[in-house]
Amino acid sequence: MRRSSLSGALFTPEQLANGFVTSVVLLVGLGTLIHSMLDYSISILIWKPVSLAVPRSHEGVSASKSKALTYSGECVRAFTVS
């Protein structure tokens, strides 16, 4: 028995004909996209209060980094040490 392609070696002709492989690839792709979007949203929800609660040290900030940094519409200023 000769195998002509990798997909033919991994899946039966019935699975390929019924769209099984296409369905699995599509579901895994969409699941990955949705899951990553949810992870990002959760991380933003957690980061916002944590970043406000943790004190920041402004020592050692170079002059080039002393400009205003914008985060979610709020302005956070980084000051240089004189």
Whole-angstrom distance, CA of residue 78 vs CA of residue 62: 10
Give the H or E element holding residue 15: helix 13-17
pLDDT of residue 12: 82
Whole-angstrom distance, CA of residue 20 vs CA of residue 11: 9
pLDDT of residue 77: 52
Q: Choose among 48, 47, 56, 51: nearest CA to 79.
A: 56
In the chain (82 residues long), the average pLDDT of successive 10-residue segments reads: 58 81 89 96 94 76 50 49 46
Which residue type does 43 have?
S
Number of helices (H), then strands (E), belonging to the chain: the values are 3, 2
pLDDT of residue 80: 45
